[in-house]
Each structure stands twice: as structure tokens, then as C-alpha cells.
């Protein structure tokens, strides 16, 4: 069997990967600017159940297409960057070649790309698009194995996608044809960019066809981290069998690509934030906190000091394998169409994020309460309840009622009223009034505050706050909080929370 002479091409491209605002307008339905007859007559396969596709001019839904030439003219720095040619879509890099934020008109979101699904030959790469730090564009790399891109905006997208109401981006791979074909494309640019794309396809005989291709790329990235920020490649292959009424095809794709993830850098602020400038020694336009000295880090992952080592050069890269297939078969008036794919691998995120310093769990919990030290022990009062340990021992249950044991002999039940036994003989019942028996003997009934002196001592029970002198000591009982010191032992009942230190013992009642 003889075949036509093979067609091979060699192209050399020089790219300038500049970190500058993109000014392309979003007013056309193709990457070239104005839809022509060839574009409108193009056959699309996304969003339709027809085996042989549908002419774009006959589509009742909004769809954007891009050929390999149009993709190269767009000079995309990433898969998400290519979506800038789609009307109603805003794509922005959030930290490098991967990890973009993609926003679809009419679909509010805070970041990532929850309303964007990437497909390969009609099958979603990863159906859940809402996982944080795993937007779909990170899982795909555009190279010369892509025949065209079809972007379906709404319309029948929820039916022929994974229920995605927003944007469905379908990348159709090149397959072998009757005429052998091949290409080699070299790309170079600033930031030490070096890339090679290769592709080859052709017939194998008896209706079988093949295609293989991929790319390898290395660059320092849009900022200089002192190591290769983007390094890796991809290899793809397809195998197809065609007959008069149908086609069966399989494909496999391996992607191993590392992309450093750039995060915020410090700036100097003057004039109440109106003037911003670079931090000394760190250029705000070209600098990054990444570097050789801080590339390999140890991460604490266990309570006993267990650590794992990670390389920040891996960034938000991927190491994934995709295997899939497609069957289209017309049998009389019936059409059988089925697609499938399987993906496995990893897409981690290793980056240097700026933020608050890490803290222990105990410190985090303490931030919602308070800490008390009594003798050699300490206790935490948090929320509406608390637990305290004093030098000899105490037990506290606090809510709107509580029980405390302090020193060798005392008990307190506190709510809106309480009873207390302290020393040899004393009792207190406090609500909005109270009765007290002092050491030698005295009774006090108080409204919102009163003073009682009995024997050599004196006692004061107060509504909103008072001072008490007993023997050589003094104490304060307060409505909304107080501190008390007694010669050998004391208890404190507080309206909404208080702290007490008593000789060798102490207790805390918290409301």
C-alpha cells in the first residue's frame, strides 16, 4: 500500500513572556477577531449528540472555537490565559503558570474556577470543579497535539458536561489521518524560556491510525526564584480505528510539570497607605520570597515532631496520567456514542504564604478566655465555663451556676443566689440581697450594698461593688467582677465572672 508523501513542518518562535497587563478585547467569537465564513462553517462536537457534529452557524447556543493557528497567535502563557479570547470570561493568574482565578459572567465566585470544567475529547478531566487549589485549568497543558478548542458558554453545557452551568472547555486532540504529518516547534524568550513541541501522525493500515506528540519546557518564570520556576513536559498518544459508519479511538496522556507558585511580598507603606514602595533589597516588580536558601523546607505534620520535606520548586505542578476512549457508531437510524476517561496522579500545592505566625492549639483556645495562676498551678477560664486547679485543689463548674472547693474547707453554689461556708462558720446567700454570718457573729441583710461589723472583724456584702476589712485583711466583693484576698482562705461569688486569690488556696467562679 502506498501513501502520499508525508508533510513535515519546522517552525521557530521567539516569545517574550512579559509580566504586563493584557489588553486584548473580548468582543469576538474567535481568536482572530471577526468570524468569517470558514469559521462559521466549522464543525463543532461540543454540546451536541450528533456523531458527525454540527455546523457552528447552525448552533442554537453560544460557542467559541480556536484553531491551532489561533491558539499560537494568542501566545497563551497557560491554559487559563488562553480563555481570554472567550467573551464573558475573565481569567487572571494568581501566582504563576497555574492556579488561576477564572470568572464567568453571571456566575459570582470568590476565586479558583468553580464554574469552569475542562474536557479532553468530550470527557471531563476532573468533574468536581469546586475544590480549593484545584481548578481545572491546572490539570491541562496546551501543546501541538491539540487540534482545536471549543468553549461552550451555558446553553446545553449542563447536559453534555458534568452538569456545569457555566463554562465547558473542550480540547479536541489531533488524530492520525490518511496523510502522514509531523511538526517540530522551538520557542525561546526572556526569563531564559526554552521550549520544544513535537507532533507526528499517520496511517498504520487496515483502517488504523496513530498520533504522538508532546512538549518539554524550562524557564526561570515571571520572577526570578534562583531556580527553574517552570520545568516539565507532556507526552500524548492516540490510536484510532475507522470504518464507514463509525470510529473507535483511545488516547493516553502523561503530564509531569512543576510550576512555582508566587505569593504576596511585603511592601513599604507611607502616607496612610497612599504611597507604596519596594522593601529594601526586594524589588516589588521582579522579586519573590522564594530562593535557593528557602527552597527545601521541613513541614511539621505530627504532635511528636514528625516532619516531611517538600521542595517549593514543585509549586502547583501536576504529575497525572489520563487514559480514555470514544466510540461513535451509526447503525441504521440509530447512533451509539460513548466516551470515558480515567485520571490518576497528584496535583499538590507547595508555596510560601504570608500571614499570621503559627500558634499552638492551647494558645488558640486561650485566646477566647483567660488564664489564672495560683500558687504553682494555672487554670483557663473560657467562654461561659471554666476549670481551675489551685495549689491544694479546687473544682469549678461554671455556667450560670457553679460549685467550687478551695483550700481545705469551702463550697460555693452560685447562680443569681449562693450559699457559702468558709473558715469555721459563715454563710452567704446572695441574690439582689444577702445574709451573712461573720466569725464572731453578725447578720447582714443587704439590698444593693451594705456594711456590717461583728466582733473584731467586719464584712460587707455589696450589690455592684464594695470594700471589706476583716482583721488585718481586706477584700472586695463586686457585682460584675472582683478580686479578694483573705488571711487563711476565702471564696468569691461574682455576678458575671471574677478572680480570687486566698492565702494558700484559691478558686474561680465564672458566669
How many whole angstroms separate alpha carbon 78 and alpha carbon 92? Answer: 10
Domain range enclosing 457: 361-477
Domain-located, residue 97: yes
Domain-located, residue 450: yes
**Mean pLDDT, residues 25-48 taken together:** 50
CB 311 within 8 A of CB 299: no
Residue 281 has pLDDT above 50, yes or no: yes
How many domains is the chain partitioned into structurally? 2
**Domain CATH number, residue 166:** 2.170.130.10
Give the per-residue pLDDT at 217.
Answer: 96
Q: In angstroms, how far apart are the furthest CA atoms of the chain?
A: 125
- β-strands 167-173, 466-470 pairing: unpaired
Domain-located, residue 241: no
Indicate the DSSP class of residue 58. Answer: G
pLDDT range class, residue 129, cuts 50, 70, 90: confident
Residue 196 has pLDDT above 60, yes or no: yes
HEC-encoded secondary structure of 355-420: CCCCCCHHHHHHCCEEEEEECCEEEEEECCEEECCCCCCCCEECCCCEEECCCCCEEEEECCCEEE
Domain-located, residue 468: yes
Pick the most confident of 25-29, 109-113, 183-187, 507-511: 183-187
- β-strands 167-173, 116-120 pairing: parallel
User: Which distant-in-sequence residues (6+ apart) come within 8 Å of 72 by Cβ?
Assistant: 13
**Mean pLDDT, residues 249-260 taken together:** 96
Between residues 47 and 436, the one the model is more confident about: 47
Domain-located, residue 96: yes
pLDDT range class, residue 53, cuts 50, 70, 90: low
> Which of 148, 173, 198 represents a domain boundary (last residue)?
173
pTM: 0.62
Q: Strand, helix or coil at 336? A: strand
Query: How does the average pLDDT of the chain come out, rounded?
Result: 71
Domain-located, residue 467: yes
User: Which distant-in-sequence residues (6+ apart) come within 8 Å of 367 by Cβ?
Assistant: none
> Which of 173, 191, 214 represents a domain boundary (last residue)?
173
pLDDT range class, residue 49, cuts 50, 70, 90: low
155, burial (CB in 10 Å: exposed 0-12, middle 13-18, buried 19+): middle
pLDDT range class, residue 26, cuts 50, 70, 90: very low
Between residues 486 and 129, the one the model is more confident about: 129
How many whole angstroms separate alpha carbon 502 and alpha carbon 405? Answer: 12
Percent of the chain with pLDDT over 70: 58
**E-only strand ranges, 415-497:** 418-422, 428-430, 434-437, 443-446, 449-454, 457-462, 466-470, 473-477
Taking Cα atoms as reference points, which of 459, 455, 457 lies closest to residue 446? 459
**Mean pLDDT, residues 209-213 taken together:** 98
> Which of 146, 173, 200 represents a domain boundary (last residue)?
173
462, burial (CB in 10 Å: exposed 0-12, middle 13-18, buried 19+): buried
How many whole angstroms separate alpha carbon 119 and alpha carbon 351? Answer: 27
Domain-located, residue 191: no
pLDDT range class, residue 50, cuts 50, 70, 90: low
pLDDT range class, residue 289, cuts 50, 70, 90: confident
Domain-located, residue 120: yes
CB 58 within 8 A of CB 47: no
Q: pLDDT tens digit string along 315-367?
A: 889 999 999 999 999 999 898 989 999 999 999 988 888 777 777 788 888 87
Q: pLDDT tens digit string along 358-409?
A: 777 888 888 776 555 555 554 544 443 344 444 443 443 444 444 444 343 3
Pick the most confident of 65-69, 101-105, 238-242: 238-242
Amino acid at each position: 500500500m502506498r501513501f502520499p508523501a508525508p508533510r513535515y513542518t519546522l517552525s521557530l518562535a521567539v516569545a517574550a513572556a512579559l509580566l504586563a497587563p493584557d489588553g486584548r478585547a473580548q468582543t469576538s467569537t474567535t481568536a482572530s477577531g471577526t468570524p468569517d465564513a470558514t469559521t462559521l462553517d466549522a464543525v463543532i462536537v461540543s454540546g451536541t449528540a450528533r456523531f458527525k457534529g454540527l455546523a457552528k452557524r447552525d448552533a442554537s447556543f453560544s460557542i467559541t472555537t480556536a484553531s491551532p493557528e489561533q491558539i499560537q497567535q494568542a501566545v497563551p502563557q497557560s491554559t487559563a490565559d488562553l480563555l481570554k479570547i472567550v467573551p464573558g470570561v475573565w481569567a487572571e493568574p494568581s501566582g504563576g503558570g497555574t492556579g488561576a482565578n477564572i470568572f464567568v459572567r453571571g456566575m459570582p465566585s470568590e476565586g479558583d474556577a468553580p464554574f469552569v470544567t475542562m474536557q479532553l475529547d468530550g470527557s471531563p478531566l476532573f468533574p468536581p470543579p469546586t475544590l480549593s487549589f484545584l481548578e481545572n485549568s491546572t490539570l491541562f497543558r496546551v501543546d501541538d497535539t491539540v487540534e482545536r478548542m471549543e468553549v461552550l458558554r451555558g446553553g446545553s453545557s449542563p447536559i453534555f458536561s458534568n452538569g456545569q452551568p457555566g463554562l465547558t472547555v473542550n480540547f479536541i486532540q489531533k488524530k492520525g489521518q490518511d496523510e502522514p504529518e509531523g511538526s517540530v516547534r522551538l520557542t525561546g524568550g526572556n526569563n531564559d524560556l526554552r521550549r520544544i513541541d513535537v507532533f507526528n501522525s499517520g496511517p498504520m493500515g487496515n483502517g488504523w491510525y496513530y498520533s504522538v506528540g508532546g512538549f518539554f519546557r524550562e524557564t526561570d518564570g515571571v520572577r526570578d526564584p534562583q531556580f527553574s520556576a517552570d520545568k516539565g513536559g507532556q507526552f500524548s498518544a492516540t490510536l484510532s480505528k475507522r470504518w464507514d459508519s463509525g470510529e473507535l479511538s483511545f488516547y493516553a496522556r502523561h503530564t509531569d510539570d512543576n510550576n512555582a507558585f508566587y505569593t504576596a511580598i511585603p511592601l513599604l507603606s507611607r502616607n496612610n497607605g497612599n504611597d507604596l514602595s519596594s522593601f529594601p533589597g526586594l524589588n516589588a516588580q521582579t522579586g519573590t520570597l522564594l530562593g535557593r536558601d528557602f527552597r527545601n523546607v521541613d513541614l511539621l505534620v505530627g504532635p511528636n515532631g514528625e516532619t516531611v520535606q517538600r521542595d517549593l520548586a514543585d509549586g502547583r505542578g501536576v504529575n497525572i496520567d489520563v487514559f480514555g476512549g470514544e466510540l461513535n457508531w451509526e447503525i441504521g437510524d440509530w447512533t451509539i456514542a460513548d466516551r470515558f476517561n480515567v485520571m490518576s496522579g497528584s496535583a499538590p500545592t507547595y508555596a510560601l504564604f504570608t500571614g499570621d505566625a503559627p500558634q499552638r492549639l492551647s494558645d488558640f483556645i486561650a485566646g477566647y478566655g483567660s488564664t489564672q495562676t495560683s500558687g504553682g498551678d494555672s487554670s483557663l477560664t473560657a467562654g461561659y465555663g471554666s476549670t481551675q486547679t489551685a495549689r491544694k485543689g479546687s473544682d469549678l463548674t461554671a455556667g450560670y451556676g457553679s460549685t467550687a472547693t478551695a483550700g481545705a474547707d469551702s463550697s460555693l453554689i452560685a447562680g443569681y443566689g449562693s450559699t457559702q461556708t468558709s473558715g469555721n462558720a459563715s454563710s452567704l446567700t446572695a441574690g439582689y440581697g444577702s445574709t451573712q454570718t461573720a466569725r464572731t457573729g453578725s447578720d447582714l441583710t443587704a439590698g444593693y450594698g451594705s456594711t456590717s461589723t461583728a466582733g473584731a472583724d467586719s464584712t460587707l456584702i455589696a450589690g455592684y461593688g464594695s470594700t471589706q476589712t476583716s482583721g488585718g485583711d481586706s477584700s472586695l466583693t463586686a457585682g460584675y467582677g472582683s478580686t479578694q484576698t483573705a488571711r487563711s482562705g476565702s471564696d468569691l461569688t461574682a455576678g458575671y465572672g471574677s478572680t480570687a486569690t486566698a492565702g494558700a488556696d484559691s478558686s474561680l467562679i465564672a458566669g
